[in-house]
Amino acid sequence: MKGKFIVIEGIEGAGKTSAINYIAHILRKEHKIKKIKIVREPGNTPIAEKLRKLIKKGNKNEELTDISMLLLIYAARIQLIKKIIKPSIKKGSWVIGDRHTLSSFAYQGGGFKIEDKIINKIHKISMDNFKPNLTLFLDVLPSIGLKRILSRKNRDIIENKSINFFKNTRKKYIKLIKHDKKIIKINANLKINQVYRLIKNKLNSWIKIEKCL
Ligand code: Z5A
């Protein structure tokens, strides 16, 4: 099979990190896929990692505006796609992404309340129609997700937001995924082994269909 781009999405504490490692394991063991690349947004290239620091922590004496944050996120994304994702797929790798454009519409649109038409404009200029082959949205209730990350120290700008911010972000995710057949919702409120089972079933069914195409 050709290289693919699979994205994992969800709010804080949805379990994306564990899910990504599990997906890589299934691809290797069950599907004998050798070339797997894991990436995260924002980040991974030297420039994108610098932008990640700014996006997550801001600057001591200067507030990062919501639109500036959005533009920095897209700048980091362009670097990542051009320098890592596209070349990896071209070489036959399966790229697993921790977040992608759905995060921008959900966080910046739902959480920060930037209008969709503004995000859409920036999206169109930046993305050149590039899309993931599959997105798994790990749907966790904010009350559960935030409890899972309670012990985390050194919180960033978004992690310090109120529960309402995450409720609005989740609401937006749910609205966005409704009519998109390339996005699968997973109940991430369940125990981790149950979440893994759901991921495995959905992923294997999708790969089966992809193999027939
Ligand atoms: N951002 C944005 O605003 N717009 C954008 O377009 C993009 C990003 C691309 C990236 O930060 C930040 O950038 C992010 C959104 C913003 N906001 N913040 N803050 P990040 O990469 O540092 O944060 P994150 O992506 O949200 O990762 P996270 O907080 O670590 O969440 P997670 O990866 O989903 O969680 P986890 O580490 O896998 O799990 C958390 C804990 O829960 C851990 O101890 C697990 O063992 C546990 N866990 C996981 N699943 C379960 C289950 N099922 N039961 C019980 N416990 C579990």
CATH number at 64 reads 3.40.50.300
The whole domain housing 118 covers 5-212
Low-confidence ranges of the chain (pLDDT < 70): none
Q: What is the count of structural domains for the chain?
A: 1
**pLDDT of the residue at 212:** 84
User: Which residue do the tokens 């200067």 mark?
Assistant: 62
**pLDDT of the residue at 151:** 87
**pLDDT of the residue at 6:** 98
**pLDDT of the residue at 213:** 75
Contact 105, 71 (CB under 8 A): no
Sign of torsion, CA 190 10 161 117?
negative
Query: Does ligand 1 come within 6 angstroms of the Cβ of 109?
Result: no
Best residue for ligand 1 mutational test, from 20, 107, 137, 155 (most atoms within 8 Å of Cβ): 107
**pLDDT of the residue at 72:** 98
**pLDDT of the residue at 100:** 98
Contact 11, 110 (CB under 8 A): no
**pLDDT of the residue at 71:** 98
Q: How many A from CA of 211 to the centre of ligand 1?
A: 31
Q: How many A from CA of 2 to the centre of ligand 1?
A: 29
Best residue for ligand 1 mutational test, from 38, 53, 64, 99 (most atoms within 8 Å of Cβ): 99
Report the alpha-carbon distance of residue 163 to residue 170 in Å, rounded.
Answer: 11
**pLDDT of the residue at 152:** 86
